[in-house]
Amino acid sequence: MTTASPHPLRGVLLIASAVFLFACLDSTIRYLAAHFPVPLMAFVRYVVHLVLMLGILWPRQGLGFVRPRRTLLVVVRALCLVACTLFMMQGLVRLPVAEATAIGFVAPLLVVLLSRPLLGERIGWLRWGAVLAGFCGVLLVARPGASLDAFGVAMVLCAALCGAAYQLLSRLLASSESTNTLLFHAALAGTLCFGLSLPWQPAIAWPSLFETGLLFSLGVTGGLGHYLFTRAYRHAPASLLAPFTYLQLLWAGLLGWLVFDRVPDGLTLLGMAVIALAGVVVALNQVRGG
């Protein structure tokens, strides 16, 4: 477990930058979805991440970080992230970025529901109330009148479930595995799984220089975002940083407006606010031991 250093502002800036990169990643996927299949985008996202990790860490640390201590759980965790990526990308193909991001933020609420039977954690009434409120927020975002693609909503909910499993396994492995080991095996699993699917994908036109740059950026924004996210917790306590993760909703809405000329309606914005508030309550209550 990392301890907070006396640089809380630096931690806040790092977490804000990380979630901005995540919003950029989702927006880029949404833009490229009109030209490239999801498995190809996912493969590029992970292979670039993998190459960057090896290029940076191998000369400095050797290859010790590639050997996990609890191999089976590390592999299962990596596969959960692969499934989360696949479902989330399928959802982003069909949904506006802001709405998909909001629905995806149900994952921390699912972690609360699963932590009692799987980890034996005590769940207080405040967290139960926050979970219920969060799901009400999802219903506001994905209500019938919002005209969202039902399959896209289902894909993002599946992504949230896989993301919750990924977070729970991350908790279990935090005491035995290094961050670099977990990041490496996630990138390796994504590269292998999506790479093996490429021969069955439809033929596509060769990407332009601009599209090539955007494809490459998937790995950079994803990898750098996770790195900054991890570094933030070295400079500030989780109780301070947790609310700032929901800046991703703001970034997603802003990018959706600037890139796709899409502005969520009033009820959708209300639902997004409810989801964010519920997530903040869960996070702060968790940190304080409630």
pLDDT of residue 2: 43
Cα–Cα distance for residue pair 13/235, rounded to 1 Å: 10
Instruction: Tell me how crowded residue 150 is: count the other CB atoms within 10 A of its CB.
Output: 10
- Name the band, by pLDDT with cuts 50, 70 and 90, for residue 287: low
What are the Cα distances from residue 254, in Å, to 12, 57, 98, 262? 20, 34, 8, 9
Is residue 220 within 8 Å of 48, Cβ to Cβ? yes
| Domain coordinates in residue numbering, the chain | 8-199+210-287
Residue with tokens 């209550």: 285
Task: Provide mean pLDDT across the span 59-65.
Answer: 81
Tokens of 4: 């907070």
- More confident of the two residues 20 and 278: 20
Q: Rg (Cα) of the chain, in Å, rounded?
A: 19
| Residue 85, pLDDT above cutoff 90 | yes
What are the backbone angles phi and psi of residue 180, rounded to the nearest 5°?
Answer: -65, -40
Higher-pLDDT residue of 257, 147: 257
What is residue 95's DSSP assignment? S
- DSSP reduced 3-state for 234: coil
Per-residue pLDDT, averaged over 209-227, amounts to 90
pTM: 0.84
